[in-house]
Structure 1
Amino acid sequence: MDVTIYQVAQRAGVSIATVSRALRGTGPVSSKTRQKVLKAVEELNFTPSRLGVSLAEGRHAANGIVFPNLAGPYYTEVLLGYEEVAAELGRSVVILSTKGRPNVREAVKELAGRVDGLVVFGRTAPDDLVAELIGVGMPLVFISREPMAGADTLRSENIESARKLALHLRGHGYTRYAFLGAPYAPGDDISQRWEGVSGVLGERIEPVLTAEYTVESGHEAALRLLRSPNRPQALICSDDEVALGALLAAEELGLAVPDDLAVTGWDDIMAARHARPALTTIRQPMREMGARAARALDELISGVRETCAHLNLATELVIRASCGHHPQEDHK
């Protein structure tokens, strides 16, 4: 079995980040520590992978960020927050969208060899590649993924906010619900939202798949669902774009929102505030998430911090007219 960077770090009595910096010649590493690392490398006959060799060639003053898709306001807001901080830190940003790419693994691996660190959304990169990146000491920050050893993780709180939303809707007396945009990956944001609402509503809510988390997919799925004889009284949507599609479907079918159907979303994109009726949703700090990801990655690259951090950002239930309640003042 090949020797890993973890074994080198354990033998030298340092972190994997320190091993990475010692081998790459980046960041503050004392001469004594570097000698300990090199001695461990020699004793264990450690040979970095091809990816590790490319990473060791030097700093690029660039960060990579891997999105599953660049369409939609959610990714736009996260990217804006990320780029603002990256520019402040003097780093360029190389963006990779994996949608439609035939070989995602090779595309992400090629990007990793051209940057000093990566931010990756969820499970956009294959698990075996993630393990390889961590194994060679690549500075990594994951957004919207469960905590994992060897990388920072950053996500918004989902479960408790979803519970609050479900409890609020239950208080209106609705008895038939659907969750539009059903979860498909264990541990991701949508799965956590489903966990929260289904924990409150139990058998009264059913998951309904959408092809994508877009207005078009929400519209198509909602049309099929709302034409059924036993249609739900309330649609809890995975995100605001799906919810906006559901509002269009309800209008097309002559259903009044919220009198005939309650609709809720998630994210609080600008369009949610200006929809008619205005959309009840969960506000998450999208731009802050991007900014924090950029700072976290810079800390890992520069060696300011060696230990990995796992952060959950707070979210907020925003009640507006689409769920059958008088909208609250929304000053934020």
Structure 2
Amino acid sequence: MRSFMQSVSETGYLPPLYQCWLNIVKSFFSSLSGLLIAVVLGPEIVIGWARIGNLLAESAFPAPSIAREGSLQQSHSGSRLAFRGGKRMGHTMREVAKRAGVSPATVSRVLNKTHYISVETERRVLEVVGQMKYFKNVHARRLATGRSDLFGLVISEIANPYSPEMIHGFQAAAWDRGFDVLLCNTQYDQARTKSILRKLIESDVRGVAVMTSSIDRSMASELIDAGIGVVFCNVSPAEKLLSTISIDYQRGIEQAIEHIVGLGHRCAAVIAGPDDNRTAITIKDALVAGLKKRDLHPLPVISSNYRIDAGASAVRAILSTPDKPTAIFCGSDLIALGAMSALEEAGAGIPEDISVIGIDDISFAFLARPPLTTIRVPRERVGATAFEALDRMLKLKRRKGADYYLETELVIRRSTTTAR
């Protein structure tokens, strides 16, 4: 193999078979470019870095270093690789600044959105950046500042319809300030979760939004010990390097109970989320306490997971009891959709026989037949607030966290009606 590579280096000739293999490898690594996103595969996290593909392929299969006419192997000030094979590979920030008539510092501020720049200057710089097809070197910036431009976002399941709006809110807020997002998916797996937390520290993220109840404060202590700011949902109180977002489920639940009582219902059941999930426990306790307060003693109260099939199984158990409820409160919209499916299979009319209420107001709630009455959680605001909390906390000298509060509200659709 060594003699083969030496021959390639001396002659510059690469056999067609090897050239084909090189192109395949380059194409594969190039396909990894795009948004910084992490998907945990066993104990590892694969990170897709923009434009890193060719660099990886070239390091694995170095091109022959042959001096050819017009092949200038020289570097330009501030450039990673200004020339290769006689072809200019990219422009420097200094060149962009010169053409735009500003300083390199101004170009940096425009691209990184770190200082206020006049609208006219920003427009001129961005126009030149587009003309010259200039891309900032995030690795060089990290070396210069000693900090990454990454924020971590940890969720339970990327496939859960609850997640997309929250991800969008967090990512949009981060991108507006020139930062990238490392998205991690725990899938409620403890080993995977520990691997994620370790990789976030190794990736030198600026802050992490933990938007899953499967991670508690004790598990995230390693992040705080490493000086990384963290924001949690429904965990209090705030402290140094720790902010919290409290979602006021109580308000929406009270509205839902008042709605059902006003429709004349006197017998209700509850299908809650899992017993090891702190948000599910909060919702279940609020539902049971609220129903008892209005003399609607819930029976039965069943715990399930956040899946459609779990809601369906719970409804089958409810329908087997002698005293059937006229209303069912569900701990999530997915549970409610499963409950509605099982009720339909059993020949029970919705809402004529049994009214159904969900929580979350995912997009499928509106599309359900009949459309689902549910308690709306402002998920996009949750994501945006999570980033704002991290950004503000990390700008403070003492890195002190804060508490944030978001309200829920009832959305009345056609899955509830007057009790029979």
Tell me which interval the TM-score lies in, with the shorter structure as reference length.
0.7 to 0.9
Whether the 8 Å CA contact 1:181–1:218 is kept in 2: the answer is no
Deviation digits for residues 212-252 of structure 1 (CA, Å, limit 9, x no counterpart): 21222212222232233322221100111111111111111
What CA distance in whole angstroms lies between the structure 1 residues aligned with 2:343 and 2:148? 51
Aligned positions of 1:1-332 closer than 5 A = 58-99=146-187, 100=189, 102-114=191-203, 115-150=205-240, 151-182=242-273, 184-185=275-276, 188-202=278-292, 204-205=297-298, 206-210=300-304, 212-303=305-396, 306-324=399-417
Q: How far apart, in 2, do the equivalents of 1:73 and 1:103 lie?
A: 21
Between the aligned partners of 1:274 and 1:88, the Cα distance in structure 2 is 32
Amino acid at match of 2:285: E
1:61 Cα deviation after fit: 0.4
Counterpart AA for 2:324: R
Q: Secondary structure at the match of 1:260?
A: coil
Q: Aligned to 1:278, what secondary structure does the other structure show? A: coil
Secondary structure of 1:194's match? helix
TM-score, length of structure 1 as denominator length: 0.74
Deviation, structure 1 residue 304: 7.8
Q: What is the CA deviation profile of residues 253-281 of structure 1, one whole-angstrom value per residue up to 9, with x for unaligned ones? A: 00001111010001112221222212111
2: distance between equivalents of 1:155 and 1:310? 7
Q: CA deviation at 1:140?
A: 0.9
Higher relative contact order (CA 8 A, sep 6+): 1
**Which residue type is aligned with residue 401 of structure 2?**
C
- Asked if structure 2 preserves the Cα contact closer than 8 Å seen for 1:183 and 1:191, the reply is yes
**TM-aligned CA distance change 1:317 to 1:221, over 3 Å:** same
Residue pair 1:243, 1:263 contacting (<8 A) in 2 also: yes
- Name the amino acid aligned to 1:177: A
Choose 112-121 or 166-175, whichever is displaced more: 166-175
CA drift of 1:208 comes to 0.6
Evaluate the alpha carbon distance shift between residue 240 and residue 143 of structure 1 in structure 2; reply closer, same or farther with a 3 A threshold.
Answer: same
Deviations 1:286-324 (CA, angstroms, capped at 9, x unpaired): 111111111221222344884311111121111122111
* Structure 2: 5+ residue stretches without partners: 1-113, 115-144
- Tell me, yes or no, if the aligned pair for 1:64 and 1:112 is still in contact at 8 Å: no
1:132, CA displacement in angstroms? Answer: 3.3
- 1:41 aligns with none
TM-score, scaled relative to structure 2: 0.59
Cα distance, 1:103 vs. partner? Answer: 4.5
Structure 1 counterpart of 2:362, one-letter code: I
Please list the CA deviations of residues 125-161 of structure 1 after superposition, one character each: whole Å capped at 9, or x if unmatched.
Answer: 3543323333443211112333342311113211122
Change beyond 3 A, Cα 1:304–1:244: farther
Q: Which has the larger radius of gyration?
A: 2
For structure 1, which runs of at least 5 residues remain unmatched after alignment?
1-26, 28-56, 326-332
- Output the CA distance in 1 between the equivalents of 2:252 and 2:274: 16
User: Alignment partner of 2:191: what SS?
Assistant: coil
Shift of the 310–137 alpha-carbon distance from structure 1 to 2, 3 Å rule, reads same
- Over the aligned positions, Cα root-mean-square deviation in angstroms equals 2.5
Distance in 1 (CA, whole Å) between partners of 2:398 and 2:360 is: 30
Q: Which moved more, 1:131-140 or 1:76-85?
A: 131-140
Change (3 A) 1:173 1:286: same
Q: Which amino acid aligns with 2:199?
A: E
After TM superposition, give the deviation of residue 101 of structure 1 in Å.
5.7
Task: Quote the Cα distance in structure 1 between the aligned partners of 2:397 and 2:168.
Answer: 24
**Is the Cα–Cα contact under 8 Å of residues 184 and 191 in structure 1 kept in the other structure?**
yes
Cα separation, partners in 2 of 1:182 and 1:129, compared to 1, 3 Å:
closer
